[in-house]
Amino acid sequence: MRSLYLNGAWTGSSSDQALDVINPATEQVIDSVPAGDPADVDRAVAAAKAAFPSWSALSVAERRSYLERALELFRRRAEDVAATMAADMGAPLKFATKIQAGLPMVMFQTYLDLLDEVGERYFTGERVGESLVVREPVGVVGAITPWNYPLHQIVLKVIPALAAGNTVVLKPSEIAPLGAYALAEVFHDAGLPAGVFNLVSGTGPVVGEAIAAHPDVDMVSFTGSGRAGRRVSEVASATVKRVALELGGKSPNVILPDADLRHAVKRGVADVMRNTGQSCNALTRMLVHRDQYDEAVRTAAEAAAKHAPGDPLEEGTRMGPLVSKAQLDRVRDYIGIGVKEGARLVTGGAEPPEGREQGYYVQPTVFADVRNDMRIAQEEIFGPVLVLIPYDSEEEAVEIANDTVYGLNAAVWAGDRDHGLAVARRLRAGQVEVNGGDFNPRVPFGGYKQSGVGREWGIHGLDEFCEVKAVQLGA
């Protein structure tokens, strides 16, 4: 069994319980991590609190040099990290290399680049008349991260938090924790000062709640489900600490009548099937004008069939298994709910894919004749399930798109980009893609409504981990 990482050393847990790490493609146990307890959180927080004064007092350049060494080690180990991610959470090896290991390196480097650009002046302040407005680190940050992009989500919290001068206590998802351990090893080997970064594995109800409730944790940054996010907010409110939440989505993909329909539909299907549908920002509601609806349904079914599940280690596999048995049961249940609600199952279904009885595999699934008030159109399924909804006018499309408790992501496809932008401005979401706009690691990521509070990525992600102080200067 692995250990915890506390105060610069690998150490045993106060608990004697372990959590198995299961390869979702084989259902075999590949590792185990401690099921930490509140006493472990106390030790981690004490270490982070003790390390905070000296770490926050370093110059930006000094903190950056530690992080740069860590990134260099990360790059050297990228191939091993990708293989770990493929086994840990079932991502196809090519996807694991490019996204599950590659994207965290891109985001890591982006924060180093931002530090180069903003430098000390970002923290030492700007003059506003005869006053000075400065940024300072919040203090001890508790980071609670999910299993779907386990290392990416850790980097989005830990790196800007450390860059800003905070110290960190991390609780990774117990379902896919091995990426967190790889990063902890990188920090250790890079010589990060003791206590600056601490890792406590365990479950949300035990370790996560202990972090959120701890009086010496100054901020909690959480990514996960809406239910868990509400609980984090509730627990954290007792100590009135800062809370950042990146939660779920049921994102609309609005295809306007003058768009390239086949291209838009194929791109939309690929987006939903990415990471076996386990993406909070997946465009799972496809809105198509009624005149083009039948063609869109046919195209979506054809495109989905190209994402047949396979062994993550086999060449050419585009979609691996779901991450766990619990997630498999959830997705299959939702497919059954869709059928009971009267939606038309176009392709896929709840049965295991042919030849994939072992492993947590599910068929890529497309529903048509979906109303926006159905559960499969309103609730986050977190699997490779796409619903197609018809509309009769642009006004109705916008109304349907916004008719959700979520507001994380959206997309618009239009023949004219300016027209697409005009529609995008009417959508209540933190991100909107127009005609498949390129990924940009410097723009803010976060949601409206029940999709969250706060922003990650870019300079906004750095701001999230800073306090702002106004200094009134006298003579």
* Active-site pick, 174, 209, 280, 466: 280
Given pLDDT bands bounded at 50, 70 and 90, which one contains residue 98?
Answer: very high
**What is the CATH number assigned to the segment(s) 4-247+450-472?**
3.40.605.10
280 in active site: yes
In the residue annotation, 394 being an active-site residue is answered as no
Please check whether residue 262 is in contact with residue 464, taking contact to mean a CB–CB distance below 8 angstroms.
no
CATH code for residues 252-440: 3.40.309.10
- Tell me: the pLDDT tens digits for 177-191? 999 999 999 999 999
Instruction: Give the start-to-end residue ranges of the domains of the chain.
Output: 4-247+450-472, 252-440
Give the confidence band of 221 by pLDDT, cuts at 50, 70, 90. very high
**What pLDDT score was predicted for residue 110?**
97
Residue 134 CA, chain-centre distance (Å), reads 30
Q: How far is CA 78 from the centre of its chain?
A: 20
Q: What is the mean pLDDT of residues 132-159?
A: 97
**What are the tokens at 445?**
């990521």
The residue annotated as part of the active site, out of 174, 209, 246, 433, is 246
Distance, CA of 29 to CA of 168 (rounded, Å): 29
Q: Specify the residue for token string 């372990």.
A: 18
Other beta carbons within 10 Å of 30: 13
Q: Are strands 126-128 and 131-137 parallel, antiparallel or unpaired?
A: antiparallel
pTM of structure: 0.96
Residue 439 has pLDDT above 80, yes or no: yes
Q: What is the pLDDT of residues 24-35, one digit of tens each?
A: 999 999 999 999
| Cβ proximity of 366 and 256 under 8 Å | no
pLDDT tier at 357, thresholds 50, 70, 90: confident
In the structure, what pLDDT confidence band is assigned to residue 338 with cuts at 50, 70 and 90? Answer: very high
**Residue range 284-325, pLDDT digits in tens:** 999 999 999 999 999 999 999 999 999 999 999 999 999 999
Helix (DSSP H) and strand (DSSP E) numbers for the chain: 17, 20
